[in-house]
């Protein structure tokens, strides 16, 4: 007698909610209800609610070769992709003013990299080499006095993606698309490729804004810059 009651309690405990079952089987509630009505699912109807028994269900799924995942499925999709906001990246990277450099591209890059604090010291030469190589392939000067130097491969020695904004003391000929001298550089440095495209696209979204480009000419401080960027992104979301 006691045994039976215990068993009953166990049965109750194993009940699975219909909504969970919908997810595990990947079908709609209507389908589940129809299957129950047609007697295709091992299910007990208790009043107006249904109870499922996990063990029966597993047997049933095995017998019918239907994939049944009673544990919650790993959620996928773009929502859960790690995203990093432009302002956070900029905070990590920092803003640097009045950089004094030589007249050519490699010297500009090495001077800027020297200043970026978040880059480990023993990696600077490697980073400069990579960035210069990238510039040789195709200039990152996008016009309007702005360049976005970035390496082609992820940098394993970084913990987080970052953007460093460097304002040069004197504009330099950077072989930009519009042949204008460059005075502002945004370094995009990233440990994984997926950050690269995202940061690049949000940055270029800001740079397309004329007001923002004008604002950059004033060589703003880090806090001002971040504020402006946040305002822009907020406006986009609206």
Partner 1 sequence: MRKLKQIYNIFYAKFFLFDDRLVLMTAGAVVGVFAGLAAVTLRLSLAAVLEFFQPYRQYAWAFILPGIGALISFLFLDKVMREGAGHGVPEVIYAVSRRGGLLRLRSTFSRLISSFFTIASGGSAGPEAPVVMSGSAIGSNIAKFLGLNDRQRMTLVGCGTAGAIASIFHAPVAGLIFSVEIILGEWKFVNIIPITIAAVAGAQISEAIIPKKELFQHHTFSIFTGDILGSIGLALFTALISVIFTRMLRTVGALAKRTPVSPWLRAMIGGCTVGTMGIFMPMVLGEGYHPIIEMVDGTFHMAFWLIFIGIFLKIFATAITLGWGGSGGIFAPCLLIGSLTGVVFYKAMMFVFPNAAVASEGTYALLGMAGIMSGVMQAPLSSIFLIAEITGGYEAILLLLLVSSISSTLSHIIEPSSFYFKDLIERGEFMRPGTDARILSDLSLNEIINTNYTTVSENMIFRDFINKIRNSDRDHYPVIADKTGDYLGMVRVSNIRKYALDPAFYDMIFLNQIMDTDMVTASFDDDLHDVLEFMETFNIDHIPVVDHHRFSGMISKARILDLYRRELIMQTNIQ
* Contacting residues toward partner 1, per CB under 8 A: 1, 4-5, 7-9, 11, 26-28, 30-31, 34-40, 42-46, 53, 56, 60, 63-66, 77-78, 236
H-run or E-run covering 181: none
Rank residues 92 and 202 by Cβ distance to partner 1 and give the closer one.
Answer: 202
Minimal distance, residue 5 CB to partner 1, in Å:
6
Q: Which of 53, 97, 150, 233 is catalytic?
A: 150
Rank residues 63 and 178 by Cβ distance to partner 1 and give the closer one.
Answer: 63
Provide the CA 37 distance to its chain's centre, in angstroms.
45
Rank residues 37 and 73 by Cβ distance to partner 1 and give the closer one.
Answer: 37
Minimal distance, residue 197 CB to partner 1, in Å:
13
Tokens 């690049």, located at residue: 200
- C-alpha span between 8 and 81 (Å, rounded): 43
Burial 90-101 (b: 16+ CB within 10 A, else e): bbbbbbbeebeb
Helices 86-93 & 222-237 angle (0-180, nearest 10): 170
Token digits of residue 231: 């305002």
Q: DSSP secondary-structure letter at 93?
A: H
Q: Is 150 a catalytic residue?
A: yes
Minimal distance, residue 55 CB to partner 1, in Å:
11
Contact 116, 187 (CB under 8 A): yes
- C-alpha span between 114 and 167 (Å, rounded): 14
CA-to-CA dists, residue 182 to 94, 151, 159, 172, 226, angstroms: 19, 19, 29, 5, 21
Among the listed residues 82, 62, 87, the one whose alpha carbon sits nearest the alpha carbon of residue 229: 87
Rank residues 44 and 98 by Cβ distance to partner 1 and give the closer one.
Answer: 44
Q: In DSSP terms, which residues pair with 99 in a beta bridge?
A: 168
Minimal distance, residue 216 CB to partner 1, in Å:
21
Minimal distance, residue 69 CB to partner 1, in Å:
14
Rank residues 57 and 163 by Cβ distance to partner 1 and give the closer one.
Answer: 57
52: three-class secondary structure by DSSP: strand
Active site residues: 150
């Amino acid at each position: 007698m006691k045994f039976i009651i215990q068993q009953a309690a166990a049965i109750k405990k194993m009940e699975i909610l219909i909504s969970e079952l919908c997810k595990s089987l990947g079908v709609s509630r209507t389908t589940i209800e129809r299957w129950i009505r047609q007697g295709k699912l091992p299910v007990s109807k208790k009043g107006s609610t249904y109870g499922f028994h996990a063990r029966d269900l597993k047997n049933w799924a095995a017998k019918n070769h239907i994939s049944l995942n009673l544990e919650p499925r790993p959620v996928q999709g773009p929502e859960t992709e790690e995203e990093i906001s432009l302002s956070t990246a900029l905070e990590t990277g920092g803003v640097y003013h009045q950089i004094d450099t030589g007249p050519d591209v490699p010297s500009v890059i090495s001077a800027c990299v020297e200043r970026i604090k978040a880059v480990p010291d023993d990696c600077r030469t490697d980073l400069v080499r990579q960035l210069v190589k990238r510039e040789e392939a195709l200039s990152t000067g996008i016009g309007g006095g702005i360049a976005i130097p970035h390496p082609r491969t992820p940098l394993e020695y970084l913990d987080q993606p970052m953007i460093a904004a460097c304002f040069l003391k004197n504009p330099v000929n950077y072989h930009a698309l519009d042949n204008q001298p460059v005075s502002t550089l945004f370094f995009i440095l990233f440990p994984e490729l997926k950050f690269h495209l995202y940061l690049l696209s949000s940055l270029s979204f800001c740079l397309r804004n004329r007001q923002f480009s004008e604002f950059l000419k004033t060589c703003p401080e880090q806090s001002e810059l971040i504020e402006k960027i946040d305002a822009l992104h907020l406006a986009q979301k609206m």
